Amino acid sequence: MKKISEIKKLGVFTSGGDAPGMNAAIRAVVRAGIYYQKEVYGIMRGYEGMIDADIVKLGARSVGNILQRGGTILKTARSKEFRTKEGRVKAFENLKKNGIDGLVAIGGDGTFTGLHYFSSEFDISTICLPGTIDNDIAGTDYTIGFDTATNTAVQAIDRIRDTALSHNRLFFIEVMGRNSGYIALNSGIAGGAGAIILPEEELSFDDLYSLLEAGMETGKKSNLVVVAEGSKLGGANELAKKIAERSDYFDIKVTILGHQQRGGSPTYFDRVLASKMGVAAVEGLLNGESNVMVGFKENKIVYNSYDQVINQQHKIEEESMRIAKILSI
Ligand code: F6P
């Protein structure tokens, strides 16, 4: 691990799925780096750009007017080549050529795994920021992008509710979350869903039907079911079809929200979270933290080693599940 004064040039990159707030995090890393008199370089397209030497010097002005923008100005990719030793050797040589000796990565679990390998093979200090809409990273209460994506889902649910009410329809709304029910659970509570289907919960089809049936018996004229993409019970289309086979009480429709949840201007929460985490990444590196992820737990910045966060799913909150059930009757 390098000492404070030894780190001279920082590299920053985004990797994996983009998330709203990544630009705010890039801006914070670049400006904090410059504030502490370090040179900062942007590595384009994540590990791909590291391998291809697609590296650009960034100044305080190069990150102006990006705080409020979705996506990532550095672009992002999921790199197969970085999974090979040859790819990582190329990447390290390119960093060395540019004199980069401290790396800040913004991404999810796959990004961290890559960096964990990299930092154990080569002499480089690394630090990660959790940037993914899924909120599935251990060691932090919130990931950058989750709040915005959930708000986007809630806005869509509200609009769908208007038409559901007008037509007395049952809607199945599928939200993102390959392995994580965070967006589904929170947008479901905020959007007043009659049922929420999460990858983390063992719910049978009969359980779902009973929930909807209870609504029919108590006079619900329309209803909304929020389904996480990774639901083990089936996706929104499949569930809608099966319910229609069992009951003709409702006219049933399906909406898959998809990638619109990944875009858009970040909320105030994501901008502030990303700004705090970006500064914490630079200050952490300069204070000798390495091979750690910056997290935000109970309103405080924390640093966790990669071993504590990689492959450790952020568990869904039981209390939120309980509240969702009480309120869905
Ligand atoms: O991890 C973020 C995420 O948006 C997941 O919720 C989703 O399953 C996945 O990425 C989609 O990835 P892609 O953009 O490669 O289709």
- The CATH code of the domain that includes 174 is 3.40.50.460
How much distance in Å is there from the Cα of 54 to the middle of ligand 1? Answer: 24
pLDDT average, residue stretch 51-70: 98
Phi, psi dihedral angles at 220 (to 5 degrees): -70, 130
Alpha helices in 45-108 (DSSP H): 47-51, 85-97
- Residues 141 and 38 grouped into a single domain: yes
Q: What is the DSSP string of 227-257?
A: EETT-TT--HHHHHHHHHHH--SSEEEEEE-
If we measure between CA atoms, which residue out of 46, 112, 45, 51 comes closest to residue 84?
51
Q: Which residues line ligand 1 (CB under 6 A)?
A: 17, 108, 132-134, 176-178, 229, 262
Say if residue 4's pLDDT is above 60: no
Ligand 1 pocket test: which of 178, 198, 257 has the largest number of ligand atoms within 8 Å of its C-beta? 178
Residue 87 lies in a domain: yes
pLDDT average, residue stretch 44-63: 98
- Residues 195 and 249 grouped into a single domain: yes
How much distance in Å is there from the Cα of 177 to the middle of ligand 1? Answer: 7
- Residues 157 and 236 grouped into a single domain: yes
pLDDT average, residue stretch 126-150: 98
Q: What is the DSSP letter of 143?
A: -
If we measure between CA atoms, which residue out of 94, 9, 86 comes closest to residue 45?
94
How much distance in Å is there from the Cα of 203 to the middle of ligand 1? Answer: 23
- Residues 213 and 270 grouped into a single domain: no
Residue 193 lies in a domain: yes
Beta strands in the chain (DSSP E): 9-14, 39-43, 55-58, 102-107, 125-130, 169-175, 195-197, 223-228, 251-256, 292-297, 300-305
pLDDT at 313: 85
Ligand 1 pocket test: which of 133, 143, 227, 314 has the largest number of ligand atoms within 8 Å of its C-beta? 133
Average pLDDT, the chain: 96
If we measure between CA atoms, which residue out of 244, 227, 258 comes closest to residue 169?
244
pLDDT average, residue stretch 214-224: 94
Residue 69 lies in a domain: yes
Residue 325 lies in a domain: no
* Residue identifier of the C-alpha nearest atom 9 of ligand 1: 178
Kindly give the interhelix angle for 205-217 and 236-246, rounded to the nearest 10 degrees.
60
- Residues 225 and 248 grouped into a single domain: yes
Say if residue 128's pLDDT is above 50: yes
pLDDT band at 5 (very low <50, low <70, confident <90, very high): low
Say if residue 110's pLDDT is above 80: yes
Pairing label, strands 55-58, 102-107: unpaired
pLDDT at 314: 92
Task: Indicate the number of domains in the chain.
Answer: 2
> Which residues are 40's β-sheet partners?
10, 58
Whether 147 is catalytic? no
* Residue identifier of the C-alpha nearest atom 13 of ligand 1: 17
- Residues 256 and 160 grouped into a single domain: yes
pLDDT band at 2 (very low <50, low <70, confident <90, very high): very low
Residue type at position 213: E
227, 262, 297: which is the final residue of a domain? 262
Closest ligand 1 atom, CA of 133? 2
> Which residues are 294's β-sheet partners?
303
- Residues 92 and 174 grouped into a single domain: no
Residue 326 lies in a domain: no
Residue 319 lies in a domain: no
What's the CA gap between 47 and 70, in Å, rounded? 21
pLDDT average, residue stretch 55-72: 98
What's the CA gap between 220 and 112, in Å, rounded? 46
- Residues 26 and 138 grouped into a single domain: yes
pLDDT band at 1 (very low <50, low <70, confident <90, very high): very low
* Residue identifier of the C-alpha nearest atom 14 of ligand 1: 17
* Residue identifier of the C-alpha nearest atom 6 of ligand 1: 177
- Residues 285 and 136 grouped into a single domain: yes
- Residues 186 and 64 grouped into a single domain: no
Q: Give residue 104's domain range.
A: 9-145+266-309
What's the CA gap between 266 and 284, in Å, rounded? 25
- Residues 42 and 60 grouped into a single domain: yes
Residue 162 lies in a domain: yes
pTM of whole model > 0.75? yes
- The CATH code of the domain that includes 44 is 3.40.50.450
If we measure between CA atoms, which residue out of 191, 185, 197, 196 comes closest to residue 164?
191
Residue 317 lies in a domain: no
pLDDT at 36: 96
Pairing label, strands 251-256, 292-297: unpaired
- Residues 285 and 165 grouped into a single domain: no
Ligand 1 pocket test: which of 176, 180, 186, 187 has the largest number of ligand atoms within 8 Å of its C-beta? 176
